[in-house]
Structure 1
Amino acid sequence: MESVRQVLKMADLIPVIEKAMGDFSKGEEGGVVQPMRAVVPVKEHKGILYAMPAYSATSGALVTKLLTRFQDRDKIPVTGPRTTVCYFDHTNGDLKSIMDGEVITSMRTAAASAVATKYLAPKGPKILCILGAGRQARSHYQALHQICSFQEVKVWNRTLSRAQEFAAEYNSTVCETAQEAAKDADVIVTVTMSPTPILEHSWVKQGAHVNCVGACRPDWQEVSSELMQKSVVYVDSREAAMKESGDVLISKAEIYAEIGDLVNGTKEAFRDKTTVFTSIGMAVEDVVSAKLVYDKYVEQGE
């Protein structure tokens, strides 16, 4: 994990993710081959195995990510990584590298939110709200500060002590309720993995931008249906969102565009309206992130 963290820098990653999102939304012209991820449930242990393969012809990279999520993981000792990235030679199929995928997943997800924020945040955003205080909260703090110069960051977490730990590590104000944290925020990030809404429409000011990250299953919903229905909704992958995003499926909200459409200039970015970016996470983001890591090590002669 640390070896990946040493070479993967957010300033380098965000433009790479931006290009990958644009390539994906171009279809065949973009050179991205990305099937829907395979989902294998392990019901008796409340677990899921994801397999996420993708190929980017423009990047010259072929990758598969294997990821497990087990709700009972805290009750059973964890003996190895839960996310692994396999990097292949795209010219002959040789396995070139096996990487710990925890850092890659955390950073590329936040980088995608940063790209969405770049296009959709109101001009001159001053207040950032982060709902959640885990690994994704930290990576989003770092990524979004590459895009915006916030004057204040407010954080809320169901467990107050975790929010306090976050605030001690990052210059933030701890809020006792999600409503208090969201008040007057220009950019809001939800990274809680909550199965029920933790953000209501009435708490969000007109013209704010919301990055919804934690509701990555069709039966989970981080933001209210009213907020989804009354906002302009953007996604990373329309196909994936229509299959896996609880925020989209439960609310029956209309998807306006993919973020890649904004990158390519084929759809409008409504900065003056309330916008929501629902992030499911795309394998092509893992592809270009892993290539960045691999190329950095090659440059170092390793």
Structure 2
Amino acid sequence: MSRHKENEARSSIPYLGQDVVERLLSEKLAFDLVSEVMQRVAEGTTRQSLRILLPLAEPRLFGCMPGALAADGPFGAKVLSVDPRFALAGASSHQGVVMLFDPDSGLLVSLVDAAEITKRRTAAASAVATEALARPDANRLAILGTGEQAESHIRAITDARSITSVTIWGRSREKAERMAKELGDELGRTIGVAGSAQEAARRADIICTVSGASDPILCRDWVEPGTHINAVGSSHERASEIEETLVASVRYFCDSRQGALAQGGEFIRTNKLGLIGEDHILAEIGDVLSGKAPGRRSADEITLYKSLGHIAQDLACGWRLHQIATTAEPSM
């Protein structure tokens, strides 16, 4: 590429903002992309390093997640700041961009809004795990938390399977009721509000913890046999949404074994108590999807999927959006 063309390409890098991601990345498309790319992660054909989290003034974090869809495929990184106070001001707690580089030219070719793509790919991953691990007849969904992931998880999981009831619990009853009303009206269904996390859990056979709580909000005695849990909200080793005795009793799966061992707060706390060892991580979800590892074995087992978020999910979704936006032939 000539110097002139290279400079021209750099000066016209498209930014795919929140509105573009909302419009182009449907629940179904995100589900399909995440399902495919997590199988690639488990096969070892993607490239990534452990997520970097730099603590700043409490409670802010600066994060960087680098990776590639293949050794010779599209590559890039998600760079973002994380601060729950952003959400209190009506914005996303995750602010930043996914940077996409073309594998042939090596040029930065697109920037994608990190908040919206994170929200959608995370919920899609939970929907994928739910389809792989929940009982076929599981149809009662409980959402513990009322942040941005609560809404996206309701959308993704009700899109992926037939859900007969949805219940929300949050520390703010007012916020939970407002979300239930607004989202229920939009989706054309009744969404219930529970007075406690225990009440919500006992109504459900699919539970998503999306609170970001530092200490457990879901206890072993509240979870019925046969339940599937998506543990999503805690994103570093110092936070855990799930009680240790519950973690020890489940069939435990994750998006990344390396990530769960280093940054999965629920696993780390339970391991430090001596209740589990590293073999408690049965498989990455990609191996379950490809049939290389068994998932649920019986109707009464409790399964748990630990989601820490994976750069391959961001890159797969971001690259497809880049292709759509630039009318390129879709491929990964």
TM-score bin (small chain): over 0.9
Identity %: 30
Match of 1:23 in 2: 40
Which structure 1 residue ranges, 5 or more long, are not aligned?
none
Which 10-residue stretch deviates more, 216-225 or 251-260?
Answer: 251-260
The question of 1:208 aligning with 2:234 is answered no
Aligned partner of 2:102 among 66, 69, 89:
89
Instruction: Give the drift of 1:295.
Output: 1.4
Q: For 1:143, which of 156, 162, 167 is the aligned residue?
A: 156
> 1:151/1:73 Cα in 2 relative to 1: closer, same or farther (>3 Å)?
closer
Please say if 1:298 is aligned against 2:326: yes
| Counterpart selection for 2:314 from 267, 286, 290 | 286
Answer whether contact 1:81 1:100 (CA < 8 A) is retained: no
Instruction: In structure 2, give the amino acid aligned to 1:39.
Output: L
C-alpha change, 1:75 and 1:268, in structure 2 (3 Å) is closer
Q: 1:32 to 1:193 in 2, by over 3 A?
A: same
Which residue is 2:14 aligned to? none
Aligned to 2:209: 190
Which of 275, 283, 288 pairs up with 1:257? Answer: 283
2:294 to 260, 268, 293: 268
Deviations 1:136-195 (A, max 9, x none): 011111111122211111110001111001110223101110111111411000000000
RMSD, aligned α-carbons: 2.2
Contact 1:125 1:148 in 2 (8 A): no
| Correspondence list, 1:31-42, <5 A | 31-42=45-56
State how far apart, in whole Å, the 1-side matches of 2:194 and 2:91 are: 32
Partner of 1:239: 258
- Residue 286 and residue 37 in structure 1: after superposition, are their counterparts in 2 closer, same or farther (change >3 A)? same
Q: Which runs of 4+ in 1 moved over 4 A?
A: 71-81
Q: Which protein shows a greater Rg? A: 2
Q: Retained in 2: the 8 A contact 1:63–1:286?
A: no
Shift of 1:59: 9.3
What is the TM-score normalised by the length of structure 1? 0.93
- Higher mean C-alpha deviation, range 276-285 or range 70-79: 70-79
Q: Distance in 1 between matches of 2:240 and 2:33?
A: 29
Aligned to 2:146: 133
Q: Report if aligned partners of 2:231, 2:241 keep a CA contact under 8 Å in 1.
A: yes
For normalisation by structure 2, the TM-score amounts to 0.85
Equivalent AA in structure 2 for residue 217 of structure 1: H
